[in-house]
Amino acid sequence: MAMASGAVSQAELLLRKQLKNLMKNPVDGFSAGLTDENNIYEWSVTVIGPPDTLYEGGFFTAILSFPRDYPQSPPVCKFKSEMWHPNVYPDGRVCISILHSPGDDPSGYELSSERWTPVHTVETIMLSIISMLSSPNDESPANIDAAKEWREDKESFKKRVQRCVRRSQEML
């Protein structure tokens, strides 16, 4: 009997396991669940603005979209909440090294050890995103304007972020 499309992929098994673990042992700083019970490949995550950072008090929602060959390839993380940050593209996509495809960086910025490897889990991804909020990297920014403002006008940057925080609270 040939395997029907009912066969569960490695990606699906792994994602179900990670989801179950996070439900059982929630991790400080974020919560995660499926956007649709029937689609294990799309998660909705809420990142809680880290204490003692400009993002403190915010509840930022994002979508994690996993490829069918996960964990060989990284998911894409995209904020749905408004986000002002050097490492978040204007469309909400998060740009951090562990979400970049494995191997060497064609632009030479990142070591392959900093890029995606299959050992990463939703938890390590989310903790990296939380850490990104705490300490922006303006070396190779995704949002040039945010990076420029972060470098040259901290006060104005802070105001923009506080607006994002307030908006995220209103969306609750």
**Active site residue ranges:** 95
Task: Report the SS3 class of residue 91.
Answer: coil
Helix, strand, coil abundance in the chain, percent, nearest 5: 35, 15, 50
List, in sequence order, every beta strand (DSSP E) within 73-135: 76-79
- HSE value, Cβ hemisphere, 13 Å, CA-based, for 110: 20
Reading the block at residue 172, the tokens are 């609750």
Closest CA to 94 of 57, 151, 36, 136: 136
Our measurement of the distance from residue 30's CA atom to the centroid of its chain's CA atoms, rounded to an integer in Å, reads 10
- Residue 76 has φ and ψ, to the nearest 5°, of -105, 135
